[in-house]
Amino acid sequence: MAVAGPKPSMKVSLYFGLGYDQTTLDFVDVPIGNDLAVFADPSRLRSLTSPWASECNSLLQHFFEVLLEHVVKGDEYNAKILLSYLAERNEFHFGLSKSLSNGKAFGKKYADRMWTALTKSAAAKSGLLTDIEDTCLFIEGVGPDRISDAVCNILRGPLVRYTQDACEFYGIPLVPNMNSGPIWNPDTGHWDNSLISLPATPFGPLILVPKLIVRHKLIYDYSTYFTHHLLPAMQEHEKAMNTGLVHTLRDGRKRVTKKSLKEKYGADKLVIVEQTLRHPNALEEYRESAVRNSRPISHERLADIENIAPPNLRGLLNDVTIIAPGKASATAYEKAVEKLLTALFYPSLSHPTRQFRMHEGRKIVDIKFVNDPQGGFFHWLGMHYPASHIWVECKNYSDDLSNPEFDQLAGRFSPSKGQFGLLVCRSLENPLAALKRSQDTARDRRGYILVLTDSELSELVSDYIENQGGSQYPLLRTKFNELIM
């Protein structure tokens, strides 16, 4: 009798038996054969400042500049090559397909259509198009799914490296000699292809995507731009010119309705291009607003989309506190703390690494996080102190911490990599002594160390739940203030 294989709806975490769920994973836990209705949003990347995000932004900008150069020159052949190599190969599993993944992207079969749309639109040759997401505002036939597919394909190189790092971290096996698919080479301005190692399932290879750069809806939306940014600019212009669309109210104020503007000018993308050329400030304001308001997808929203249970932070806390103190459980404790902090500090902290080796392996840190927040405590921290990375040491001791534990963590700090860390332990018989040691480290300008006990982890979790998320972490701010007073 044949044994049924895994279903295409099975999630990556379950297929590989990771012991993690979406709340504790750094990447999007996609189904192995179907698509998940989320999108890689370039505006999310533009709001981030990490070296990885900067590389991604540079790649997107370079690719789009090369494409526009071909369009302006009328180089149909090379433009279509660029477009055709954006064909989705289904490794990402993002999109709106109802059955087995079937990406659209711009793709080969769309290359002709996209070339026609780009060359017909005044946006391409007028300078309106500067970023890839601009195309969904001005180019017919371009929506969020195709922008997302294009972004994933252009960023295939960085995403492959991210995937390989994630596989090492979570224990996902890599299969060698897999076809990389087209990888954009900014040095040559062409697509490369090679054999690489990737995770694989019966439905094909996988490329994982950080959940920090995805949204349930692309923030760039032509209807939002037209209604809330362009039409108001058009209204002010009509009033300034005192056109026939202007109505004077009883109190003397002038009024122009959005309905009358749509009736006069229309509301399709050709109109949006034409009016944006007349009112370019509306586009600049919209771009700034998009980046400013581009928030990462929340735990709760992902749970809704994936039809899974909401985050269970108290369960993750319990996984930490039930571990018996002692050296024998040190690894289990470290892993449980990493899961809890990954969930608790998302989206401020990302890309966790356990047993991170530095100085050619001579020093090891239990956990390293990348700090790339948009607000809250960790944003404030990074604005005032070196904190590009957050370092965590986990001490599953039954005794109090002493000087060596503080010196060990401080010895991992550096101005370029970050000078802030968390020393996580079970309890403190003498909390004042621990505070004094942290203050000594700060006063000696060796960095800033916050000690977190089981009870303080519980306080962080309670505050997070009561405030329905958030990134302020008042306990951390209070404890940090104690260091610098």
283/285 Cα distance (integer angstroms): 5
**If we measure between CA atoms, which residue out of 102, 110, 103, 56 comes closest to residue 82?**
110
Q: Are strands 183-185 and 190-192 parallel, antiparallel or unpaired?
A: antiparallel
Domains contained in the chain, CATH given: 12-215 (no CATH), 222-293 (no CATH), 313-484 (3.40.91.30)
* Separation CA 464–CA 257 (nearest Å): 44
Burial class (CB in 10 A: 0-12, 13-18, 19+), 190: middle
What local confidence, expressed as pLDDT, does residue 100 receive?
63
Residues 6+ apart with CB under 8 A from 67: 79, 82, 83
pLDDT (0 to 100) of residue 469 = 83
* pLDDT, position 1: 41
Closest by CA to 179, choosing from 155, 196, 201, 199, is 196
The per-residue pLDDT for 99 is 58
pLDDT along the chain (485 residues), means of 10: 74 96 96 93 91 96 94 93 80 77 57 86 88 90 86 96 96 96 93 95 96 92 94 95 91 92 93 95 93 88 90 96 96 97 96 81 86 92 95 94 94 92 96 96 95 97 90 95 89
pTM of the model: 0.91
Total residues belonging to the chain: 485
Q: 451 with 430: CB under 8 angstroms?
A: no
Q: In angstroms, how far apart are the furthest CA atoms of the chain?
A: 84
The distance of Cα 121 from the centroid of its chain, to the nearest Å, equals 31
pLDDT at 127: 86
Say how far apart CA 441 and CA 430 lie, in whole Å. 18
Q: Nearest CA to 95 among 143, 160, 38?
A: 38
Are 208 and 162 within 8 A, CB to CB? yes
Q: Which phi and psi angles does 222 have, rounded to 5°?
A: -65, -35
